[in-house]
Structure formats: C-alpha cells, structure tokens
A and B are shown apart, each in its own frame.
Chain A
Amino acid sequence: MSLRVGVTVFPGSCDERDAARAVELMGAEPVELWHADADLQGVDAVLVPGGFSYGDYLRPGALAARSPVLSAVAAHAAAGGPVLGVCNGFQVLTEAGLLPGVLRTNRTLRFRCEDARLVVERESPWLPGVAAGETLTIPSKHHDGCFFADPGLIEAMQERGQVLMRYAHNGNGSVGAIACVTSERGNVAGLMPHPEHAVDPLLGSTDGRILLSGLLALAGAAAAV
C-alpha cells in the first residue's frame, strides 16, 4: 500500500497542485487537506506547500498557522509524524512554532526568483544518500524568505544539528545563510526553495526528489513503529 501524503490547501495557496503531482511522481498518494478542517484523514506525512495563504495578511503564514488544519498538523508532528514546509509552508510552520525562527522580508526588499544552490550541512534522514558538503539545486521564488533568529537560538540550533542546508549565494539575506532547518526532534523540516518544482528532468533539476524521498522515508519509518 502506498504512503499517503497530506497537502494542505489554504485560501491563497498556489503550489498545492505541483506538490500533489510531485507526491504522485514519487509513488505516494496525495490527499488534499482543507484549511478549515482539523482532520488529517489518516495521512502518513504532511506537506505544507507554498503560496500566499490568507493573502499574507498580518505576517506571512501567521493566519494559516492558527487555522484548524494546523492544529491537526501540530498534533501529527507531536506524535512524531513527518511534516515538510515549503516557502509559505515554511513560514506557516515557523509561525505555528513547529520550526524555530521566522521568515522576514528579503534583505533586498525584492521578490527573488532563481535556482537556489543549497550546501548540505550534515547527513540527515531528510536527505537520503546525500553527504555533508554536497550541493543541491532547487528553484526558489519569494519575497519574504530571510531567515531570522537571535544569535542564542542560532547557536542552539547549530549545536542540536537543526541547520540542514545553507545558501551557496545568500540572496535573501538569511542569518548565517540558513536555508533549511528542522525541529529539535527532526521530524519537521522547512525551506524556502521548492522541491516540488524540481522533480522532472525536463525542468532542469530533480534534486527536489531527494527531500520528498526523505519525507516518504520518514513517513514509512513512523508508520512501521
């Protein structure tokens, strides 16, 4: 039986179709999760995709983080279930307190659209078969992707191994060029670049498959417990 991956949908989400298609290409079954329902329909993993949930009102991700579906996602994460947040999904997970730090307006104040090169900091279940120091290329498109946390939190995150990847070129001005982080427990991860846009050789990179296979591997491991 294939694994089932929930893809959250908020008013203003725009990458949920690509995310669902990428999940399918990886051999899993995507399940749309509507923002107003606090019901994960028994999925094995959750992907919070990009977009501009609730119009980015107040702060990006702030209102989605307080929606009914996120309370169910938080319960899933607390039980050890894997959750991946991409772009607006990363913002949602930080606002929900499932990931450390916050995403702020890019240092340049410009929307950036580019292939991000991400240098892998450490081996991780999120990056199967990838060694520290390797570089992944994953497309990136955002206005509010500048990762921020105070120096004490950054140091603690580094000591606990929560920094997974850093930008080779830090276009959005993130503190320490941090691009991808995990929760303390390691079952929640987030990044601004879009793995779901990098799954087909026709479009350049297939490095996005690595993170998605990590999500599925973690889901398989959690389901086997």
Chain B
Amino acid sequence: MRVVVTVRPRAGILDPQGEALGRSLRGLGHAVSEVRAGKVFDLELEAGSPAEAEAAAREIAEAVLSNPLIEDFEVTVGGAVGA
C-alpha cells in the first residue's frame, strides 16, 4: 500500500534553505513572500488495511523520517506524489 509522508520544518523554526530559495525566487521576479523547504517520502508498505498502513507510516515518520525537535510530518494513505 502506498503512503506519502511529508516532513516540514516546524512553524517558527528558522529555515535557512527556504530563505535562500525565497531570495532566489524574488530575484527571478516571482512574488513569493515565504518559502519553507521540506521533504516528501513515498513508502510502499505491506499492510492489511489503510489504518494499519497509516499507523506503520506514523511510527516510521516519528522514529526516523523526522526529527521532532525541528520538524512536523503528515501522513497520507493512497496516491503517491508524481505517480
């Protein structure tokens, strides 16, 4: 079962990469006031039900894919980004 985990810098946490991207985009003439840079993970999980897949993905996201000191994550069961 396909599960998508999105990890982002937590609100209020400085994101130097996002700031640099924002400066570049504004330099190209885009009206972008803020950029926050995160990561997306597509997981193919063996699970008996969507709820089971979501629980497994949450466990993975909490323990490995995100660092709770600086990042939040979201889990979406189903369609993959770009698939």
Contacts and interface: CB of A to CB of B under 8 A. Distances in A.
A binds B: yes
Interface of A: 58-59, 62, 66, 95, 101-102, 104-109, 148-150
Given A62-B64, A62-B67, A102-B69, 6 more contacts: A58-B65, A59-B67, A108-B16, A109-B16, A148-B13, A150-B69
Contact of B67 (A95, A105, A106, A150): A95
25 contacts: A58-B64, A58-B65, A59-B67, A62-B64, A62-B67, A66-B64, A95-B67, A102-B67, A102-B69, A102-B70, A104-B70, A105-B16, A105-B17, A106-B16, A107-B14, A107-B16, A108-B16, A109-B16, A109-B17, A109-B20, A148-B13, A148-B69, A148-B70, A149-B69, A150-B69
A31 to B, nearest CB: 28
A156 B14 CA distance: 21
A101 B65 CA distance: 17
B65 to A, nearest CB: 7
Interface string B68-80: 0110000000000
Interface residues of B, number: 10
Interface string B49-70: 0000000000000001101011
Interface string B1-44: 00000000000011011001000000000000000000000000
Contacts of B70: 102, 104, 148
A109 B14 CA distance: 12
A62 B69 CA distance: 13
B13 to A, nearest CB: 8
Nearest to A59: B67
A179 to B, nearest CB: 18
A159 B17 CA distance: 32
A149 B10 CA distance: 13
Nearest to A149: B69
Nearest to A100: B69
Closest 4 CB pairs of A and B: A102-B69, A109-B16, A105-B16, A102-B67
Contacts of A62: 64, 67
Nearest to B20: A109
A38 to B, nearest CB: 18
Contacts of B13: 148
A42 B20 CA distance: 47
A58 B17 CA distance: 15
A150 to B, nearest CB: 7
A59 B67 CA distance: 9
A148 to B, nearest CB: 6
